[in-house]
Structure 1
Amino acid sequence: MFIHVSEEATGFGPIFEEEPLDTVYAEDSPEPKISMNCRVRANPPATIKWWHNNWEIKLLEQPDEHYSLVGGNLVITNPDKNKHAGKYVCVAKNVYGTVISKEATVRFGFLNQFPTDERETVYVKEGQGAVLLCDPPSCYPNEVMYRWIYNDFPNFIIPDQRRFVSQTTGNLYIAKAEVSDIGNYSCFVSSPTIGKSVFSTPFALVPEIQKEVSRYPADIRVRFPKTYALVGQNVTLECFALGNPLPHIRWRKLDADLPPNYEVSMNGALLHLINVQYEDEGSYECEALNVKGMDWYRQWLYVEGAPEWAEHINDTEKDVGSELTLSCTAVGKPLPWIRWLKDGYSYGKGELKFSSLTFEDSGMYQCIAENNWGTIYANAELRVVSCAPTFIYNPVKKILLGAENGRVVIECKPRAAPKPKFIWKRGLETLSNSSRFLIWDDGSLEILNVTKADEGSYTCYAENDRGKANSTGILSIKEATKITEAPSDAEVTAGENTILQCSASHDPSFDITFIWSVDSYIINFETDYEHYEQLMDHESSGHLLIKNIQVDHAGHYTCTAQTIVDNATVSADVYVKGRPGPPGGVRVEEIRDTSVKLVWSLGSDHRIPLTQHIVQTRDFYSLDPEDWKTAVTSPVFLDGNAWTAKVVELFPWMEYEFRVYAINDLGDGECSVPSIKIKTWDAIPTMAPTDVNGYIGLNGEVIVTWTPMKPQYFFGKKFGYIVGFKYHEDDTLMWSTVADPEARRYVYKDTIIPNSEIQIKVKGYNNKGEGPFSQITVVYTSDIAPTEAPLDVYARQVTSTEALVWWLPVFQVPPHWVDGYQIRYWRKYDDNEAAASRVLVHSSVNQTRLENMRPDSHYLIEVRAYNGAGLGPPSEHCEMFTRRPPPSRRLRVYKYVSFTRKWLYIYWDHIYNYWNESYVEGYKILFRKEGERYGKVYTTGRHYIDFPMPETGDYVIEIRARCEGGDGPISQIIVQGAAVLNFQPLCPFALLLLVLICMNLGL
């Protein structure tokens, strides 16, 4: 069946305004029906039918108690999983054709109960990690949320750095068990889709108390699987490690930086990739690290895409007998394939070509693109029409204007089918193609080099097999627009001004406009006012003033003088001398332990020769994103033609990125984009520990202390220390290994020879080998205790819990060696002297810090010299009072990012001290990378501070009150770099609060 459509046809085929959607119906839902919606606009109105699993639902011929049609919607009453699950489509039809809706699926959701069997008690040693298995019941859909109940409902465990609940398996992971973890645990599963929750039978976790809690290296137990994601989706990758101390987790992407829109939460356990793109595909790695060791895990993220239209069909009206090609282009990953439907029936694949349209080709066409991730439809109506020519909708313009010696095109576009033949007349003269007159294929008339003689009336005649029509316009010829003053090429130094001239003559009956463009970009004087201004000396001029010209203003400038009839153009080139542009494509080659080879492409010299290149570097421990340092290169001087260099004196096993900038006679140029981050090879340590000391303990043990080496000097994995001992009279070296890179003390408990000299030295080691030993420190042993007491003991309070104590050292005369001093301190009226706190220090020290004291208390302090034979006599008691404690309340901290995303503002409420607390003198702010222990410390007496906004990464800001009694409790906030920030704007109240605070502080 087909319709012969003429110009009078006003109807149209079915258009879907609402299509059925995939539905999940809970098996135990109280709602007894499912509604599949289908709303169609059509003229005349369309009839609607429904199909289920490729079978038509015939409600009239075969009535069904479950199915009913309400409008165009299909209602399923008392749904049955065995009968009604499956695929549904809505089919709409009228006289113009048939369309089929997108396929919608009905599934039945459920969440089964946990088994009622009792679970066995889980025993774990204190300090060890534990994994509590959820073993969830079967469910649909699989998108559920896991939580754990501790002892009683609804006391849910809040995940933190020590505990983590995997949303993939449901298991509860405890990095290190503590005695407080004892109790009953139950896995709680919720399905937000069907609104149902179930929980398991409780079972007990019993941590076994240990006399000495062991340390364990990081051990990753939560590992994200190989992941497939759809472009535009949000993806979360899980990674959690057991270990003692608690491991720090860091994320990286192999061979590239993490995507700009990423977030890290749950103390590093979750990596959120927001709005993933195809370029985010790759291998992702999480690294868990503590002082006992490191573990890492790596897996691939694949990013694919559901079909999206790059080009699709639209309603089309074509003449009978004409040619037509219908095509659709879809993008996606994998690449979608295309198929067609016409009036609901399959109609081929790929591209549809019609060499001579007939009325039978009219109908509703559907282009369908599909891949593994989905299916999309594009619907359109094709009408094959025929009608006599008519100028009712698009007549020839009544008044036509042209410029002398110019070109005029008079359009003739009547509605007609099939395509008509065209005849043009000027007055009564019939026109034909010549050197000045050309009749286009679409009926338009082109006249070249027009003069006053060409003025008059022009009529277009159109005729086909169904009729004919004509339309007339009158042509007037005006004076042409001509450039009278043209701009000249100019060479300007950056920062200067220059003027480009432009004037023109034109027909006085028209207004003239001057339009300036640079390299095809039209200059907008309202938005580009900072550098561009138009100067109009008189009506027929439009000079261009370029102010404070910069190198990016160089280009090809065009002035266009334009009237409603014609235009004239003239161009000039502007060259700008300036500082160098950024070098390009900085990449790292030939990575070694202390050097790399850099290669780059030369940047623009901006018309002044380059004289030098500078290489800069930034390592892993650079806190500030702009903390770039000039690198040492070979050769040392890199001239203006240099495109490669060897960067030397780097730290082994260190993450670096590099950038380059050039210099010319005007100064330093713009820096290149940083290279991809690389890691130098590992190497044997070359530095030795410092401040190595030793002394004999009260029980005759040798105690060795040193300052731990900074991480940048580890030079490799598995860093630790080797402590060496040797008697002066013996060549045999005894040594012990300390595997903790942050260790600063070792106790040698074996029997030692009295009245002897012990030489001590310490060195570092890693997976590549051992570094150099430190300088030798000598310790003397003795079998006679000291006989003199320290004199002039004096103490001064530092905080509410700390004090400094000094004394005059005891003069050492063999054999009364002094190996160290014991300091005892206790509260005069509240503590038993026998339970006094004790501190031991080396004999070379005559002062120390006393810690863990009670605030606002009266203390007695005593100092004694000792050696391996025992303690000497006590000093006279020194009395002192500790300070009052700092306020115990945390600061309320707020953050605000400037509109330019360049500055981060932190401000907080003032803390007032109570009568029994220390006065607040100011505030201390620590700014550090998340996962790192060290950072920059700032102090201020104000209630705010601002920082340059970091570009990437997560940063932790810790703020505390600073008092004479010590520092108050920490308030912490986490901020993300500008590349991933997505702060909500401050509400009006918050903005008012910020203004009031700044006014009070004198901003």
Structure 2
Amino acid sequence: FLFLSLIQPSPVHVLSIDILLVSLWPSEEPVDVVYTEDSPDGRISMNCRARANPPASYRWRRDNWEIKLMEQPDEYYSLVGGNLVITNPRQKKHAGTYICVARNIYGTVISKEARVKFGFVEEFPQEERDPVYVKEGQGAVLLCAPPKVWPQEVTYRWIFNEFPVFLYTDHRRFVSQKTGNLYISKVEAQDAGNYSCFVSSPVTGKSVFSKFIPLIPLPPDDADIRVKFPDTTAMLASNITLECFALGNPIPHIVWRKVDATDLPPNHEISESGAVLHLYNVQYEDVGGYECEAINTKGKDWHKAWLYVESAPEWAETINNTQIDIGSEHTMRCVASGKPFPFIRWYKDGYMKLCSKRNQLSIWLKFSSLTFDDSGMYQCIAENYWGIKYANAELRVIACAPTFEFNPVRKQLLGAKDGRVVIECKPRAAPRPRYTWTKGKELLYNNSRISIMFDGSLEILNATNNDEGMYSCFAENDRGKSNSSGYLTITEATSITEPPEDTEVKVGDEVILRCAASYDPMLDITFIWAIDFRVIDFDSEWEHYERVMVGEDGSGDLRIKNVQIWHEGRYTCVTQTVVDSDTAYADLKIVGVPGPPGVIRVEEIGDTWVKLLWTKGADHNSPIISYTIQTRHNWALNEDDWKDASTTPTFLDGHVEKVEVTDLYPWMEYQFRIIATNEYGSGEASIPSLKIKTWDAAPVISPTDVAGYGGRNGEIVITWTVSKPSVHVT
């Protein structure tokens, strides 16, 4: 077998590719290299090593063409161990996709693809930049016109008058990281000066800047969006930036929104200037239209574009190391998710396997009758625009005579009287052997009670004491034969003698569910309890459930303390020994006060009345007798100041789900809630309704404390006190 060894990359221009010829892929993935031709190192080193016994040999491919290193020396390529070194790399000759191939007698695997790319940053043109004249209060755009750069992940800044004085951006000044252009929404006198576009590449480490540009643009005064983000496709879980900036006087205000949604996604952040919308950890639900609107007192402008989210391949189902008999059928299948749909391909021993079948996101290899030639290292590769995913496994086809060394027939076998007994026979053998069974010296044949199953196991139905004895399994194929034996003992069957009974209990009470069984005294018995087929965990649920200790009479009762509504359900008692088991059921019904009624809806509103609708809540196995309507108004002293309301009809029986609340005050804000009552008492109140305000009406209470007195220059001053409704006086 071959085992993984990780090689740490050297600090400069090193691509680490780790090869694995066993069941697991290395944790460190290949890393693409971006090489700059002015690099002081002058070489690219790609590491590839596999710990193998016998040692692996190595070859390299570039763009699927093998690099000839063994036959003749090369002035650029050299092989050191398994590592490929490229000296004085040149873009036209050495840029491309590289794969390392490791091989020994057990098979061949290929590494993850590693791309070598050449980065560059060209200089700005040396021609003088034309000046632009602009009036104060107008907007301005200074074009960067950046030179050719690769890769295109660069940052833009602007020099103001002299290096290294960089322009500070704010709500009035904005630098687009898409185009490099500088936008000034409202030019002021202090903006006069010379500007230079500064481009930095974090990959190559190189920076360049343009000739200085004097300031002069002439845009309109109203809001005019000049920076418009395009339709954008983002990778799942990535961060993206949408830019939107407007010119105008006064300075426009930028508003962001998501089309057909009340709010922007929670994972958003808007820059201080409002011109940039950041979306972090983008998810599929963030897909949709995004709109920015620029507004000032003279007008507005808006722009809308779409965000699409896609994802790299991920394995939903993949392959594993497999050892399988010669002549067997076998299917290897890979299933991948991703957007767009990943393309899936197969390799065997480093070469593409063409005899595969596809079904949308899955692809499989099917073997109708395995041969030794099918043994080897298989790799499944899923790839789309956003990435590539590898899975690999070894398929080993074996042939051997039957042997019980690793899985003999159990020496001591147990079976329950009148029950079903299965004695397993699972030798290691390839191809599949023929099976025969004996009891003592008697050769066994299939009949109505005894049968030899396809996998070699022996099945005995309705077992009796006469079935006790020594059983032997014989396995034979074209490579040899072997046998293994065990003694079968028949025990008394396990049977529940006192099953639990259906029970009704009130909330807060205690109940015991009985369960007793008869069983063979030579065996140990276990009682397992479950509610609605969920096994009860007595350690974590001790506050309510307690196991009554098993006595000599074979009982295992269940005590439920402080019974609650959620304890209602079907309880199962399972009595189990190592040989057999028995099961009994009982239903536990819980009675108690009603649950809260459903959502309240205000159907109509008047000046002193409203009509309410609601839905019935849980009655908890006792019919609802009546409902009580309560109100709370905006003059309440505290949040819990609920009062019983007047209704029509006055008494609300358990079948009512609609009522008119009366004796309310006009132009008052109210909320309502409902409480249900049955024979066990009143339950919890419903969730309060939305706040509503009754219609206005003529006053029904006159002001009090009316008084008057003479003022200056023939004036009369009249004072009074506004009377509050008596219901609010405490």
Partner SS state of residue 167, structure 1: coil
Higher relative contact order (CA 8 A, sep 6+): 2
- Partner of residue 584, structure 2: 570
Paired with 2:126 and 2:619, the residues of 1 have a C-alpha distance of 78
Paired residue type of 1:105: R
**Cα drift, residue 64 of structure 1:** 0.8
- Partner of residue 235, structure 1: 240
Q: Deviation per CA, 1:933-974, whole angstroms, max 9, x where unpaired? A: xxxxxxxxxxxxxxxxxxxxxxxxxxxxxxxxxxxxxxxxxx
Paired with 1:561 and 1:292, the residues of 2 have a C-alpha distance of 83
Paired with 1:239 and 1:640, the residues of 2 have a C-alpha distance of 57
Partner SS state of residue 573, structure 2: strand
Q: Deviation per CA, 1:699-740, whole angstroms, max 9, x where unpaired? A: xxxxxxxxxxxxxxxxxxxxxxxxxxxxxxxxxxxxxxxxxx
Matched, 1:174 2:184: yes
Paired with 2:179 and 2:491, the residues of 1 have a C-alpha distance of 81
- The answer to whether the Cα contact below 8 Å between 1:312 and 1:329 also exists between their aligned partners in 2 is yes
Matched, 1:305 2:311: yes
Matched, 1:34 2:49: no
- Partner of residue 561, structure 1: 575
- The answer to whether the Cα contact below 8 Å between 1:283 and 1:300 also exists between their aligned partners in 2 is yes
Identify unmatched segments of 5+ residues in structure 2: 1-19, 358-363, 602-612, 630-651, 659-671, 678-682, 691-710, 716-730
Paired with 2:474 and 2:261, the residues of 1 have a C-alpha distance of 69
Paired residue type of 2:473: C
**Cα drift, residue 247 of structure 1:** 1.1
Paired with 1:240 and 1:201, the residues of 2 have a C-alpha distance of 25
Paired with 1:245 and 1:609, the residues of 2 have a C-alpha distance of 67
1:471 to 480, 484, 495: 484
- Partner of residue 445, structure 1: 458
- The answer to whether the Cα contact below 8 Å between 2:453 and 2:459 also exists between their aligned partners in 1 is yes
Pairs within 5 Å for 1:241-280: 241-243=246-248, 244-245=250-251, 247-255=253-261, 258-266=264-272, 268-280=274-286
Matched, 1:142 2:156: no
- Partner of residue 596, structure 1: none
- The answer to whether the Cα contact below 8 Å between 1:170 and 1:187 also exists between their aligned partners in 2 is yes
- Partner of residue 371, structure 1: 384
**Cα drift, residue 179 of structure 1:** 4.0
- The answer to whether the Cα contact below 8 Å between 1:363 and 1:381 also exists between their aligned partners in 2 is yes
- Partner of residue 913, structure 1: none
**Cα drift, residue 216 of structure 1:** 6.0
- The answer to whether the Cα contact below 8 Å between 1:458 and 1:472 also exists between their aligned partners in 2 is yes
Paired with 1:381 and 1:325, the residues of 2 have a C-alpha distance of 13
- Partner of residue 548, structure 2: 536
- The answer to whether the Cα contact below 8 Å between 2:504 and 2:590 also exists between their aligned partners in 1 is yes
Q: Deviation per CA, 1:376-412, whole angstroms, max 9, x where unpaired? A: 3332222222100011112222333344444333222
Pairs within 5 Å for 1:118-267: 118-205=128-215, 218-243=223-248, 244-245=250-251, 247-255=253-261, 258-266=264-272
User: Are the structure 2 counterparts of residues 360 and 129 from structure 1 closer, same or farther at C-alpha, using a change threshold of 3 Å?
Assistant: same
- The answer to whether the Cα contact below 8 Å between 1:437 and 1:445 also exists between their aligned partners in 2 is yes
- The answer to whether the Cα contact below 8 Å between 1:19 and 1:38 also exists between their aligned partners in 2 is no
Paired with 2:197 and 2:314, the residues of 1 have a C-alpha distance of 41
**Cα drift, residue 528 of structure 1:** 4.2
- The answer to whether the Cα contact below 8 Å between 2:628 and 2:676 also exists between their aligned partners in 1 is no
Matched, 1:416 2:429: yes
Paired residue type of 1:549: Q
**Cα drift, residue 21 of structure 1:** 3.4
**Cα drift, residue 198 of structure 1:** 2.2
Partner SS state of residue 524, structure 1: coil
Matched, 1:319 2:335: no
Paired with 2:322 and 2:468, the residues of 1 have a C-alpha distance of 39
**Cα drift, residue 453 of structure 1:** 3.9
Partner SS state of residue 279, structure 1: helix
Paired residue type of 1:560: V
User: Are the structure 2 counterparts of residues 440 and 575 from structure 1 closer, same or farther at C-alpha, using a change threshold of 3 Å?
Assistant: same
- Partner of residue 401, structure 2: 388
Matched, 1:545 2:567: no
- The answer to whether the Cα contact below 8 Å between 1:307 and 1:336 also exists between their aligned partners in 2 is yes
- The answer to whether the Cα contact below 8 Å between 1:132 and 1:173 also exists between their aligned partners in 2 is yes
Matched, 1:349 2:363: no
Moved more, 509-518 or 323-332: 509-518
**Cα drift, residue 158 of structure 1:** 4.4
Aligned-residue RMSD, C-alpha? 4.1
- The answer to whether the Cα contact below 8 Å between 2:538 and 2:547 also exists between their aligned partners in 1 is no
- Partner of residue 359, structure 1: 372
Paired with 1:490 and 1:222, the residues of 2 have a C-alpha distance of 73
- The answer to whether the Cα contact below 8 Å between 2:627 and 2:675 also exists between their aligned partners in 1 is yes
**Cα drift, residue 327 of structure 1:** 2.2
Partner SS state of residue 237, structure 2: coil
**Cα drift, residue 47 of structure 1:** 1.5
Paired with 1:188 and 1:662, the residues of 2 have a C-alpha distance of 68
**Cα drift, residue 415 of structure 1:** 0.6
Partner SS state of residue 285, structure 2: helix
Q: Deviation per CA, 1:12-62, whole angstroms, max 9, x where unpaired? A: 779864775322112222221112232334443322111112321111212
- The answer to whether the Cα contact below 8 Å between 1:19 and 1:37 also exists between their aligned partners in 2 is no
Q: Deviation per CA, 1:132-161, whole angstroms, max 9, x where unpaired? A: 322222111111122333344444444443
1:517 to 484, 506, 530: 530
Paired with 1:27 and 1:609, the residues of 2 have a C-alpha distance of 86
Partner SS state of residue 463, structure 1: strand
User: Are the structure 2 counterparts of residues 66 and 20 from structure 1 closer, same or farther at C-alpha, using a change threshold of 3 Å?
Assistant: farther
Paired residue type of 1:427: G
Q: Deviation per CA, 1:322-374, whole angstroms, max 9, x where unpaired? A: 22222222222222333333331442232322222222222333333333434
Partner SS state of residue 272, structure 1: strand
- Partner of residue 412, structure 2: 399
Paired residue type of 1:561: T
**Cα drift, residue 84 of structure 1:** 0.5
Paired residue type of 2:313: P
Paired residue type of 1:191: S
- The answer to whether the Cα contact below 8 Å between 2:141 and 2:217 also exists between their aligned partners in 1 is no
- The answer to whether the Cα contact below 8 Å between 1:248 and 1:290 also exists between their aligned partners in 2 is no
User: Are the structure 2 counterparts of residues 535 and 379 from structure 1 closer, same or farther at C-alpha, using a change threshold of 3 Å?
Assistant: closer
- Partner of residue 105, structure 2: 95
Pairs within 5 Å for 1:507-906: 507-529=520-542, 532-536=544-548, 538-539=550-551, 540-545=555-560, 547=562, 549-550=564-565, 554-574=568-588, 578-579=594-595, 665=677, 666-669=683-686
User: Are the structure 2 counterparts of residues 670 and 108 from structure 1 closer, same or farther at C-alpha, using a change threshold of 3 Å?
Assistant: farther
**Cα drift, residue 471 of structure 1:** 1.7
Paired with 2:252 and 2:334, the residues of 1 have a C-alpha distance of 56
Paired with 1:26 and 1:521, the residues of 2 have a C-alpha distance of 63
